[in-house]
Chain A
Amino acid sequence: DAKTTQPTSMDCAEGRAANLPCNHSTISGNEYVYWYRQIHSQGPQYIIHGLKNNETNEMASLIITEDRKSSTLILPHATLRDTAVYYCIVRVDWKWGGATNKLIFGTGTLLAVQP
């Protein structure tokens, strides 16, 4: 699975949009970009995933560049409860992962939403 690079930490003002970048320059054609977050002392929570088109759900938007070498997770109106570590993971869709279905986490970005 392709490796990702994320900033170690970011700050965001409450009510503002939080834009979290992720570089994945070695991504393969069949690899998806997944985003998870982990609030302190809890298990990770799925946010969104995409292949090449931009995606939006009730939690966030995912913008993937045309060359697919980077992406940005957007939380449109950050709240204090969005303070968490955000993980960007690149891998083939689990349906085709077979024996390699394991999900490997990098170091992630600690997003601190400030009041």
Chain B
Amino acid sequence: GAVVSQHPSWVICKSGTSVKIECRSLDFQATTMFWYRQFPKQSLMLMATSNEGSKATYEQGVEKDKFLINHASLTLSTLTVTSAHPEDSSFYICSAIDSGNYGYTFGSGTRLTVV
């Protein structure tokens, strides 16, 4: 079945630094990927839709200059949290559409802790 690999699985960074999270589709090509954020005991909140070769589409209230998304190839999308602050600490999850599967396959998530 379709596999989406997300890296790193967890990261701790200092306040003010930037962190990059990678999302790869391992056995299929994904023209569209999605980035979610999840705070403790809450549901997944969609942050943005990442489109290969074009700009990402951000949901209302998500700062595009803070959460930089790059989808440079059909198998890789990256999310960079710039100038991270403790309130950015969260569980970040990516998803990709696999045309040969039931649509949406999710990565295992990245736990970001900003200290």
Q: Which residues of A contact B (CB under 8 A)?
A: 36, 38, 41-46, 49, 85, 87, 93-95, 101-108
Given that A101-B49, A102-B34, A103-B95 are contacting pairs, would A45 and B43 also be in contact in the complex, using a CB cutoff of 8 Å? no
CB <8 Å contact, A103 and B34: yes
Instruction: Tell me which residues from 28 to 78 in chain B have a Cβ below 8 Å from any Cβ of chain A.
Output: 32, 34, 36, 43-46, 49
CB distance from A103 to the nearest CB of B (A): 5
Given that A101-B97, A103-B95 are contacting pairs, would A46 and B46 also be in contact in the complex, using a CB cutoff of 8 Å? no
CB <8 Å contact, A43 and B108: yes
CB distance from B49 to the nearest CB of A (A): 6
For A38, the chain B residues whose CB sits under 8 A away are: 44
For B34, the chain A residues whose CB sits under 8 A away are: 102-103
* Dominant secondary structure of chain A at its interface with chain B: loop
CB distance from A6 to the nearest CB of B (A): 11
Once the chains are docked, how many angstroms separate the CA of A94 from the CA of B36?
18
For B93, the chain A residues whose CB sits under 8 A away are: 43-44
Once the chains are docked, how many angstroms separate the CA of A69 from the CA of B111?
37
Residues of B in contact with A, size category: 20 to 34
CB distance from B11 to the nearest CB of A (A): 14
Once the chains are docked, how many angstroms separate the CA of A85 from the CA of B42?
10
The stretch among B14-22, B82-90, B98-106 that forms the contact with chain A is B98-106
B25 at interface (Cβ–Cβ under 8 A)?
Answer: no
For A43, the chain B residues whose CB sits under 8 A away are: 4, 6, 93, 95, 106-109
For B32, the chain A residues whose CB sits under 8 A away are: 101
CB distance from B87 to the nearest CB of A (A): 20
Once the chains are docked, how many angstroms separate the CA of A27 from the CA of B66?
36
For A36, the chain B residues whose CB sits under 8 A away are: 104
For B107, the chain A residues whose CB sits under 8 A away are: 43
Nearest 10 A-B pairs (CB), nearest first?
A43-B106, A94-B103, A105-B44, A44-B106, A105-B43, A43-B109, A43-B108, A43-B93, A43-B107, A107-B43
For B108, the chain A residues whose CB sits under 8 A away are: 42-43
For A42, the chain B residues whose CB sits under 8 A away are: 108-109
User: Out of B43, B99, B105, B109, which one reaches A106, CB within 8 Å?
Assistant: B43
